[in-house]
Amino acid sequence: MTAEPTTASTTSALEGPEPDSYADAEQELETILEALEVDDVDVDELSSRVARARELITWCRGRLRTAEVTITELLADPDD
């Protein structure tokens, strides 16, 4: 398994500010979800929030892939 350049590719896709951490991204996603659960969300606001959520999910997936590769490499048999 080869590492993907997730930092460059995911950060350039973000139109909003890059989260400081995975936990920050998760918190922002939770906030977006709570706002979307309100019945009186403006259509334009709804669209921008869904777009931001998509960006954050993509960013989080990149961070998870990077962590998986790093952990796999750290746990690899040193004799291989």
- What mean pLDDT is predicted for residues 25-48? 90
Question: Beta strands of the chain (E only): which ranges?
Answer: none
Which carries the bigger pLDDT value, residue 3 or residue 55?
A: 55
Residue burial 48-76, b: 16+ Cβ < 10 Å; e: rest: ebeebbebbeebbebbeebeeeeeeeeee
Read off the pTM: 0.74
Band (79; pLDDT cuts 50, 70, 90): confident
